[in-house]
Structures are given as C-alpha cells and as structure tokens.
Amino acid sequence: MSHVPTTEGTEVLEPVGHVQVIYLGPVAPHWECRMVFGDEEQIQAFVDRIDARLRFLPPHDPQFRRNRERVNRDGEREGLIVEWLLGYDEEPTA
C-alpha cells in the first residue's frame, strides 16, 4: 500500500474503499448506500452505521449536518471515500 507524506508530517494512505450515500427523496427511508469498491464486510459494517445515523433524517434536518460530519470522520478513520449524492447543489461553506 502506498502513502503520500503531507506537509504536516502525517501520512495519507490510499483509500481502501468507496461508498456513495444517495438521497432518495422526502419519503423515508431517505438514503441508499452503494459500495463502489472495497472489502464487502468492512463496507457493510460501515453502511450499517450510516443507516443508523441517517435513516429518518432528511438533509434539511439540523441533525443531518452533525451526523453527516460524523459519517465523514468515520469514513476517514477507516480509509474510505464517502461520496454524498444529494440531488442538489450544496451551499459553499466559506
């Protein structure tokens, strides 16, 4: 597995998997998760945690933003790319 050193001296590892989180619309369940690549068991365990965090939360719910950040941090820790397909352009965070 290759890695690329960053300027802070920490290592960035190659991703071990990729998950797409897709917003399905206003009727629950609101989300679908798809594995793009990676270990099927690891991805399924991650998807189970995503489902627990997001199942009944539409993207306009204030709790969604907090849970989305938690999902992103979990994915980062596990070396997973988490791609959000919300079906609309997001506002810039600047």
**Chain segment 24-80, per-residue pLDDT in tens:** 998 878 999 999 999 999 999 999 999 999 988 999 899 999 999 999 999 999 999
pTM greater than the 0.75 cutoff:
yes
What per-residue confidence (pLDDT) applies to 13? 77
Into how many domains does the chain fold? Answer: 1
**In the predicted structure, residue 8 carries a pLDDT above the cut 80:** no
Query: How wide is the angle at C-alpha 57 spanned by C-alphas 80 and 61, nearest 5°?
Result: 110
In this prediction, residue 11 has a pLDDT band, given cuts at 50, 70 and 90, of low
Q: Is residue 68 one of the residues assigned to a domain?
A: yes
Q: Is residue 8 one of the residues assigned to a domain?
A: no
Q: Is residue 46 one of the residues assigned to a domain?
A: yes
Sign of the dihedral defined by the CA atoms of residues 51, 55, 57, 59, in that order = positive
Residue numbers of the domain that contains 35: 19-85
Q: Is residue 74 one of the residues assigned to a domain?
A: yes
Q: Is residue 12 one of the residues assigned to a domain?
A: no
